[in-house]
């Protein structure tokens, strides 16, 4: 077995990795499969969805998606889809967005059902490079086909169809998750009431592609060591100068290492322990290819699809974000408004940079409550450029 294949076989330790190999419908963490309701389980479970064709024409013989659902099902309440960022998992309510999802919280599971699924190409239960290729019986590794954010959105719709969820009151996500959220809405605008991309543009810009290219080169040349370095580089784009100065300044560790350097090394090693180099390359590639206008006549005509169906768009920017900054989100909102859409820009003021969508809980909660109220209210609520 090659070193690359061996890396792919290595168990991935993370928030949604327990029970990844459970049988379809099995409750995660039990000794043997048992039936479980697809709704309100509050646990990560898996669903086999059969063959899946990618936009490139490549075909996956079998697609399995890991997901978690909290709150009432679609027969009893509207549904919200929350999509994770680059290295996240399906466990939004139990892990990376737990302060925002639950009874009485911003995404109130007494009012709505909340679904989150591991992205296509991931390593936390959804088919990706760490899974065996049915044709060979060994993990795909670097042979896993290139995917796009549109493919990832279509995989979400395949899951929603399998769960008999006819539509969404709101779909949202941050960074890569926001890109996929846009594609979810654009794939079936008639089935979505509101979309909220957070720190995410209509198309991935040249500077982000440049940063990603350096990260991918490190992974390609150095494997897991490169993955650690890629994460260190990425962390410098996820935070801000103000955040690093406030947290670390000129402080040093006992051995003289600058504290900021020690922090970056820690973040790099932590990702290596829970992630996979080929998965990282696959997901970064999807981010690089993100362009909602591709095959739709451009960004404007794509966003006209939302306007034609009355889909509300709230673009949330983050002050100090150097990766997908406020101007990129404003450009998306302005383009939607120019097509006659119900589009609005809001901004979180933060020193934490891009990662503020994983940290500024009070500000996010206030915005989410308003957006959800509007998504659940009768149309129209927003006017263009409101």
354 part of the active site:
yes
Of the listed ranges 19-28, 125-134, 163-172, 250-259, the least confidently predicted one is 19-28
User: What's the pLDDT score for residue 7?
Assistant: 38
Q: Tell me whether residue 116 is one of the annotated catalytic residues.
A: no
How confident is the model over 273-291, as a mean pLDDT? 98
- In the predicted structure, residue 198 carries a pLDDT above the cut 80: yes
- Asked about 276 being catalytic, the answer comes back as no
What pLDDT does residue 186 have? 98
Domain residue limits, the chain:
3-205+294-376, 207-287
Instruction: Single out the catalytic residue among 69, 84, 156, 354.
Output: 354
- For the entire predicted model, the pTM comes to 0.90
Range 120-131 average pLDDT:
98
Average pLDDT over residues 242-246: 95
What is the dotted CATH code of the domain comprising 3-205+294-376? 3.40.50.1820
Could you check whether 3-205+294-376 and 207-287 share the same CATH topology?
Answer: no
The three-state (H, E, C) secondary structure of the chain, written as one string = CCHHHHHHHCCCCCCCCCCCCCCCCCCCCCCCCCCCCCCCCCCEEEEEEEEEECCCCCEEEEEEEEEEEECCCCCCCCEEEEECCCCCCCCHHHHHCCCCEECCCCEECCCCEEEEECCCCCCCCCCCCCCECCCCCCECHHHCCCCCHHHHHHHHHHHHHHCCCCCECEEEEECHHHHHHHHHHHHCHHHECEEEEECCCCECCHHHHHHHHHHHHHHHHHHHHHHHHHHHHHHHHHCCHHHHHHHCCCCECCCCCEHHHHHHHHHHHHHHHHCCHHHHHHHHHHHHHCECCCCCCCHHHHHHHHHHCCCEEEEEEECCCCCCCHHHHHHHHHHHHHCCCEEEEEEECCCCHHHHHHCCHHHHHHHHHHHHHHHHCCCCCCCCCC
Instruction: Evaluate if residue 354 carries a pLDDT over 50.
Output: yes
Written out in words, the top-level CATH class of the domain with range 207-287 is: mainly alpha
Lowest mean pLDDT among 29-38, 189-198, 315-324: 29-38
> Of the residues 175, 194, 240, 350, which is catalytic?
175
Question: Catalytic residue among 321, 342, 350, 355, which?
Answer: 321
Q: Is the pLDDT of residue 26 over 70?
A: no
């Amino acid at each position: 077995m090659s070193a690359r294949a061996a890396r792919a076989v290595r168990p991935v330790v993370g928030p949604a990795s327990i029970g990844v190999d459970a049988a379809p419908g099995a409750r995660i963490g039990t000794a043997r499969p048992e039936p479980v309701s697809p709704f309100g389980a509050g646990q990560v479970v898996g669903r086999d969805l059969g063959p899946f064709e990618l936009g490139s024409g490549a075909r996956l013989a079998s697609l399995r998606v890991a997901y978690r659902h909290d709150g009432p099902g679609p027969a009893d309440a509207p549904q919200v889809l929350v999509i994770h960022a680059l290295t996240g998992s399906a466990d939004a309510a139990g892990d990376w967005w737990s302060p925002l999802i639950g009874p009485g919280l911003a995404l109130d599971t007494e009012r709505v059902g909340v679904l989150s699924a591991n992205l296509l190409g991931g390593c936390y239960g959804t088919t990706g490079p760490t899974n065996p290729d049915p044709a060979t019986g060994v993990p795909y590794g670097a042979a896993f086909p290139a995917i796009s954010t549109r493919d990832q959105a279509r995989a979400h719709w395949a899951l929603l169809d399998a769960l008999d969820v006819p539509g969404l009151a709101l779909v949202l996500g941050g960074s890569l998750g926001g890109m996929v959220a846009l594609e979810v809405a654009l794939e079936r605008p008639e089935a979505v009431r509101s979309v909220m991309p957070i720190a995410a543009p209509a198309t991935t810009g040249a500077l982000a592609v440049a940063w990603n290219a350096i990260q991918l080169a490190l992974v390609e040349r150095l494997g897991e060591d490169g993955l650690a370095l890629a994460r260190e580089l990425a962390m410098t784009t996820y935070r801000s100068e103000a955040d690093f100065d406030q947290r670390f300044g000129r402080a040093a560790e006992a051995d003289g290492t600058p504290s900021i350097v020690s922090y970056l090394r820690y973040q790099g090693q932590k990702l290596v322990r829970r992630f996979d180099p080929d998965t990282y390359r696959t997901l970064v590639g999807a981010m690089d290819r993100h362009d909602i206008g591709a095959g739709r006549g451009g960004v404007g005509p794509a966003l006209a699809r939302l306007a034609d169906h009355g889909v509300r768009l709230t673009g949330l920017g983050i002050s100090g974000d150097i990766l997908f900054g406020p101007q990129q989100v404003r450009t998306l909102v302005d383009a939607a408004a120019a097509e006659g859409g119900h589009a609005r820009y809001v901004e979180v003021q933060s020193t934490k940079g891009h990662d503020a969508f994983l940290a500024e809980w009070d500000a996010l909660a206030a915005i989410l409550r308003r957006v959800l109220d509007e998504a659940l209210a009768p149309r129209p609520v927003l006017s263009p450029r409101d």
